[in-house]
Amino acid sequence: MDGFSNNASQRDEPAKAFAAMLAPVRSAFLASLPDHIAAFEEFCELERDEDRLELAGGLARRAHRIFGVAETLSFPKLGRSALDLEIKLGARTEIGALDGLVTNFVSEMRQALHA
Amino acid sequence: MKVLAVDDDPIFRAAFEAVLRHHDIADLDMAASGQEALRLVSTQTVPFDCIFVDIQMPEMNGIELAGILRAMDPEGRTQIVMVTGLSDRQYIDQAFMAGAVDYITKPLDALEFKARLSSIQRVHESRLRANAVQEQLAAATNLQHQIDYEDALTPPDVKGLISYMALRNYLKAIGRPRYALSQRIGICVENAANIFVRTNDEDFLDIMADVGEVIVETLKSQNLMVAYAGSGEFIAVSSAIYLASPEQLESQINTALEAYQEAYLIDAVPIVRVGKAMRGSIFARRSIDEGIDEALLSARARPTMHGYSRARSA
């Protein structure tokens, strides 16, 4: 069993080293979330579609960035929410009916912050 | 392997750097924009072997950057690999046309990334081996070839001609329905072997470049991709609904090639055969490679071009 444990621990070394390399990236990602949360909450406070459309491009870009890294940093649910939102924001067709998706996305970001 | 990765998102850049280092890529540079990437590329004494380019970037997007990088390196020594999100898939055609040879998707999937990186490394290693052989043969005579007749090297400086690897990756990327709608046309130079033995590498590739240029010019259609598959054979993929018959295409291509006759030092005007346009079915089980082979076989099976003077052929 000792031999197996040693082999297993040797096998774990690259994974541990990789996790160590990703740790500062994960911290930087989490540090960026409050700014994203504020941006999406501002969107929800807007009532006129025209005002929302003005923000849509920038928010789609934010969602795109979060989607690009969330899963790699072990936040798969957040990544999927980001993708859903990026697609809807990019389509710009249901801009007045995105509150549910945005709220869910903000909630995912808050959960990531408290993970 | 010397790698450059270009992405405007600092967090993705950091994550990507960690992933690349985890895969033992130590000679690594990162750039935050197209402009920074171009500065880095132009100041290297040894060129990058591979450049990963994000598609969505402000100011200069990834497709523009890939086009400039390919123009700076027409022989394709550097492999350009696009990094795409799901919403960028619509740009994949343009990326391949601009000079990309492959793409990876965000978020990075460990298995997919490993497979793609292995393929990039294999190409890199085969180039290293070819360079080593080239150095060993430096003292050889002019007509001794350092490339093999079968090598699918992309003839230089032909707008619209992409590498064979890029074409295969493109066909895999567009998905079954679009693949089935596209038409694949095999085109072979019937006297390519004779031309090969009577020329050196540079002249042979120049002649194949002329053939490639004429093919692109003759087929001229929407979303046309043409690649040199080695052994004097080309494969063209077109989404055009109507294409002229193989006989008509053959005649147009061979007539156009006559204009090049004066330029060749040897009496070896390439003579071209065009196969039937092959369209697949969504439900067909044939692989991409089998589809390509089928198109090339059709070209090889065409009768030789007796209408063209044998005296002129090699």
pLDDT in tens, B127-149: 888 777 776 665 455 556 788 88
In terms of domains, do B75 and B202 share one?
no
Q: Residue B312: which pLDDT band, with cuts at 50, 70 and 90?
A: very low
Question: What values do phi and psi take at B77, rounded to 5?
Answer: -70, -35
pLDDT of residue B291: 86
pLDDT of residue B87: 66
Statement: residue B313 has pLDDT above 60: no
Q: Residue A5: which pLDDT band, with cuts at 50, 70 and 90?
A: very low
| Among B10, B22, B106, beta carbon nearest to A67 | B106
Q: Which of B104, B5, B61, B52 is nearest to A72 (CA)?
A: B104
DSSP B243: -
Helices (H) and strands (E) in chain A, counts: 4, 0
Give residue B191's domain range. 161-300
Half-sphere exposure of B30 (CA within 13 A, CB side): 18
Q: Which of B84, B109, B131 is the last residue of a domain?
A: B131
In terms of domains, do B206 and B290 share one?
yes
pLDDT in tens, A87-108: 888 887 777 778 889 999 999 9
What CATH number did the domain enclosing B57 receive?
3.40.50.2300
Interface probe, candidates A18, A25, A78, A86, chain B, greatest B C-beta count within 10 A: A25
Residue A22: its chain B contacts at CB < 8 A?
15, 18
Residue B313 lies in a domain: no
In chain B, the percentage of residues whose pLDDT exceeds 70 is 89
Q: Distance between CA A82 and CA A32 in Å, rounded?
A: 14
Please name the residue of chain B whose CA is at the shortest distance from the CA of residue A88.
Answer: B87
Task: Identify which has the larger pLDDT, B310 or B220.
Answer: B220
Q: Distance between CA B121 and CA B130 in Å, rounded?
A: 14
- The ipTM value here is 0.85
Give residue A37's domain range. 30-113
Helix (H, G, I), strand (E, B) or coil at B235: strand
pLDDT of residue A18: 87
Residue B145 lies in a domain: no
Is A86–B87 a contact, with Cβ atoms under 8 angstroms apart? yes
In terms of domains, do B116 and B14 share one?
yes
Is B85–A61 a contact, with Cβ atoms under 8 angstroms apart? no
Which chain B residues in 45-104 lie under 8 Å from chain A, judged by CB atoms? 56, 85-87
